[in-house]
Structure 1
């Protein structure tokens, strides 16, 4: 079993989203002791944004070229898509940034959502080519993003549900730690709620 563990917080291991996502990985490893974890830290190794080489290569159906910094953006896309294809499940840790996903996670999405590779455009809309498999998304937010106490719009979850379904990933499980900038009691309550979610979704 291969677990692709994607993290995207600039706070690295100190972040709530990283800790939650790591907890999901540990739960999965407990169920599958031989599981192989493939880490992809998007803050430690930021991805280049898709560029002219990427767009031109798609139109030419070529393999892309190297540039001064190493891989072309299309070569990065090939690598990231292959990691995704090899994964039996995906764990994503991400903080909510300005109502939506962090820019480093958006860059990853732009690389893996690729016409003719992970989805096809048809008269009936975009059809994903990847087989569905479990995706666990650990999201942290400074305030409340759900429920009656939410005072901000949430584009994070609807966006990920829409964009990942475009490539065939529809079995999404969201695990939230909310109000992380509030008092310690609020954070303790948030983690207690997360534990209950994990008992349900990882099972």
Structure 2
């Protein structure tokens, strides 16, 4: 293993419980692979734009679109994020549960990396992921007792990540 992509989605940053859990997973991976490099994508510190018209038009095979205010279209962000993901041998996601599901920052990242014709293909048999499988460690923090609130976060991730080929999901609570 050469590279771990570490996605963090908490507004609490390094103080969040999900971040601390993810650090434990990374430490275990480093014990097994001391030479591994960790690439961090902090979705709160560097928020991603939502999908824009260039991205949508490209998927719809239309031309045109304008760059995001940060000077990069969401299509360019998508390309960058997909390349980061492709280059990783393992993925570690640190996320809180917000309002029973994924925080908007993680949803924006997923919207960029789950891309038809790039990370999955739509076939008569359904959506088929194009990325090679690799371990995905998902560190989740939840407010309150797990059995006393609805949880759409874990089932959503169990559905969306295999869509792009990531099936080796390991949840850490």
| TM beyond 0.5 | yes
1:172 lines up with 2:169 in the alignment: yes
Match in the other structure for 2:77: 76
Report the 3-state secondary structure (helix = DSSP H, G, I; strand = E; otherwise coil) of the residue aligned with 2:60. helix
TM-score by length of 2: 0.95
Please name the residue that 1:121 is paired with. Answer: 122
Q: TM-score, normalised by structure 1?
A: 0.81
Q: What are the ranges of 5 or more consecutive residues in structure 1 without an aligned counterpart?
A: 177-203
Match of 1:163 among 156, 160, 165: 160
- State yes or no: 1:3 paired with 2:4: yes
State the alpha-carbon separation in 2 of the partners of residues 155 and 52 from structure 1: 28
Q: C-alpha deviations, 1:111-157, integer Å up to 9, x for none? A: 00000000000001100000111000000111122xxxx11111111
C-alpha separation in 1, matches of 2:64 and 2:84: 17
Pairwise CA distance, 1:70: 1.6
- Is the 2:137–2:172 Cα contact (8 Å) retained in structure 1? yes
For residues 87-119 of structure 1, the C-alpha deviation after alignment (integer angstroms, 9 at most, x for no partner) is 000000000111111110000000000000000
Corresponding residue for residue 198 of structure 1: none
SS at match of 1:60: coil
Q: Which runs of 5+ in 2 are unaligned?
A: none
Q: Name segments (4+ residues, structure 1) moved above 4 Å.
A: 61-65
Shift of 1:65: 5.9
Equivalent residue pairs, number: 172
CA distance in 1, matches of 2:87, 2:63: 23
Instruction: Describe the shift of the 1:52–1:62 C-alpha distance in structure 2 as closer, same or farther (beyond 3 A).
Output: closer
Q: After superposition, give the CA deviation of every residue in 1:64-100 in whole Å (9 maximum; x if it has no partner).
A: 7644422100000000000000000000000011111
Distance 1:116 1:75, change over 3 A: same
Rg larger in structure = 1
The answer for the alignment partner of 1:60 in structure 2 is 61
C-alpha displacement of 1:3: 0.2
Instruction: Indicate whether 1:152 and 2:153 are aligned.
Output: no
> Does the 8 Å contact 2:121/2:128 carry over to 1?
yes
CA distance in 2, matches of 1:51, 1:33: 40
Q: CA deviation at 1:60?
A: 3.0
Name 1:193's counterpart in structure 2. none
**2: CA distance between counterparts of 1:78 and 1:36?**
21
Structure 2 residue aligned with 1:92: 93
